[in-house]
Structure 1
Amino acid sequence: MSKFISKFRQLQARTLSRECCHENLRVTKFGWDATICAVNPKFVESVGGGSFVVIPCARVGPLPMDYPTVSGHGGWVLDIAWSPHNDNIIATGSTDGVARVWAIPDAGLSEPLERAVVDLKFHKGRCCLVLWHPSALNVLVTGGSDNQLAIWNVGTGQLLKLLDTHPALVYSACFNWNGSQLVTSCRDTMLRVLEPRTGQLLGSAVCHEGARPTRRL
């Protein structure tokens, strides 16, 4: 049994000093079970309601109250996701029903950013979920309170595929490593595996007894 003992078992966490931490990040008070903070190798992002801040990872310490924000949505930001292919690109979904893709300058924001690279308008009601394809460039999945998943080419703004398999709100979604399959959790307590190109349902199972939100897969 000794071969199953982790070689990291003696490691201990060390609390960083205040000078190495980010302070005064705004956090949304909207009652939605979603991503409110996201980090990639370049930036730290924090949702503060209808806008969000993006700061370079190396910029630590207190954040000024007048620090510029990304504020192009007409409602509360519900979900955010950094592109796995470009560290300067981030996608957001909002209560205004629109998913937007933003380009963040290398040095961070020096002034408020209100214009997105592309607006993806389809969902009726809220746009609750944004998810990048792990291997296909510029492919984004959005989910809304209309119980549908939309697959987009964000380079052209074109709607590529509509997945209307779910009878209730989709809480969460995740691709497998190469993007050939998509797994979702839904308010109806079912876990589903889909083929994203065709929308074919490959399998399903009850994942939880209750209908509480299940994020992330």
Structure 2
Amino acid sequence: MSRRVVRQSKFRHVFGQAAKADQAYEDIRVSKVTWDSSFCAVNPKFLAIIVEAGGGGAFIVLPLAKVWQIPDYTPMRNITEPIITLEGHSKRVGILSWHPTARNVLLSAGGDNVIIIWNVGTGEVLLSLEDMHPDVIHSVCWNSNGSLLATTCKDKTLRIIDPRKGQVMTERFAAHEGMRPMRAVFTRQGHIFTTGFTRMSQRELGLWDPNNFEEPVALQEMDTSNGVLLPFYDPDSSIVYLCGKGDSSIRYFEITDEPPFVHYLNTFSSKEPQRGIGFMPKRGLDVSKCEIARFYKLHERKCEPVIMTVPRKSDLFQDDLYPDTPGPEPALEAEEWLSGQDADPVLISLRDGYVPPKLRELRVTKRNILDVRPPSGPRRSQSASDAPLSQHTLETLLEEIKALREQVQAQEQRITALENMLCELVDGTD
């Protein structure tokens, strides 16, 4: 007599639920371009969505708190004006990814098949990785400390790259045999999780050990849908969420050291297909409700939050669900990383909710453009190596200081008038 053994996991009953209608963002014209991207990015404060616009390149940024503060004075700077413009690609840029541990280090990849790594604090190109990809780059992912990159390309090759050495460390041709786009992300254990298509156009997921690319650790066929599967990986729980473009569902799997290594957990389903999706960092979740993931699902003209929770009866903080997680504070400066140093992410506790740390002193040797407010009015052509602030910038800053002082003076006069009125009322009462 056989007995079925159910695998033990605290994530077997992860429950997905769409937020109420009053929590959704309405009347958003999501971009209709055919690029296989999530079209959405989110952090604990803001939601950014790529929208439809003539000429392309437009996006909106919405505050998640939904409380808008209108200033008492007219802003001196046009907020649609960029702080810095990075120019280096010869064709359209389709991939952006921040370094996980180094300050102001940004990766970009474009239709020119080139990967450029920038220091956005100074506007400099740190590294340019050319002649590594003969065709369009589909995805790029950093490992946990930012020492390696995993890339997928239209030539059907999965590559592991050391960006500072400018070398392909190892590669695997046809990790998925189909011609449709493939995606790859690093896992907590250093493995590579991939999504792609079989030769018969079935969607497929795989798990690979970069030290032995000959055979997959796991390979599973899923279905025959056409949508590219976008993987979102949570290293704290080792859960990967698969969101297909055009699907009306989100499937999630737990990655473990036990066969079959990639374990199906559940599926969140809804009526409307998703045009794109954003994934909230762990520090933006509500730990009091045992929320372990939150997505921002894009419809044709709406953005809808989808919340994933692990039901628990206790109201106490659940230590097993919320280990210390990577925070926003960088562990390295850009120059340190470029010189060869590596550091793990700076971890924070979510026990009392996320509290932003005090900004530590910068250790950069060059002027950081992001720390300087740009002038209002028309922008002049300016290179990243420009010397200190121009006379035009100084005059603009002085004008803003003058305007703020006038506002303070007006407020002080108003306070004095109110105090006089209060004294008159008190005297009249006596």
Partner residue of 1:24? Answer: 27
1:181–1:195 CA contact under 8 A, matched in 2? yes
**Which of 177, 183, 206 is the aligned partner of 1:209?**
177
Indicate the percent of aligned positions where both proteins have the same amino acid.
41
Q: Greater helix percent: which structure?
A: 2
Offset, 1:12: 3.6
1:36–1:47 CA contact under 8 A, matched in 2? yes
- Give the number of the structure whose alpha-carbon radius of gyration is greater: 2
3-state SS of 1:166 partner: coil
Look up the equivalent residue of 1:114 and give its one-letter code. T
Distance 2:92 2:147 in 1: 27
Using structure 1 for the length normalisation, give the TM-score.
0.70
3-state SS of 2:138 partner: strand
Offset, 1:112: 6.9
1:129–1:144 CA contact under 8 A, matched in 2? yes
- Output aligned runs, 1:25-174, within 5 Å: 25-49=28-52, 50=56, 51-59=58-66, 113-164=79-130, 165-174=132-141
Partner residue of 2:154? Answer: 187
Offset, 1:2: 5.8
Distance 1:193 1:154 in 2: 24
Distance 1:55 1:6 in 2: 36
Offset, 1:10: 4.1
1:26–1:46 CA contact under 8 A, matched in 2? no
Look up the equivalent residue of 2:46 and give its one-letter code. F
CA deviation vs aligned residue, 1:153-188 (integer Å, no higher than 9, x gap): 111111111111111111110000000101100010
- Cα 1:215–1:205 change in 2 (3 A) is closer
User: Superposition RMSD on alpha carbons, in Å?
Assistant: 2.3
- Cα 1:188–1:56 change in 2 (3 A) is same
Look up the equivalent residue of 1:59 and give its one-letter code. K
Q: Greater strand percent: which structure?
A: 1
1:34–1:215 CA contact under 8 A, matched in 2? no
- Cα 1:198–1:10 change in 2 (3 A) is closer
2:151–2:184 CA contact under 8 A, matched in 1? no
Kindly indicate whether structure 1 or structure 2 has the higher relative contact order, using CA contacts under 8 Å at least 6 residues apart.
2
1:182–1:195 CA contact under 8 A, matched in 2? yes
3-state SS of 1:121 partner: coil
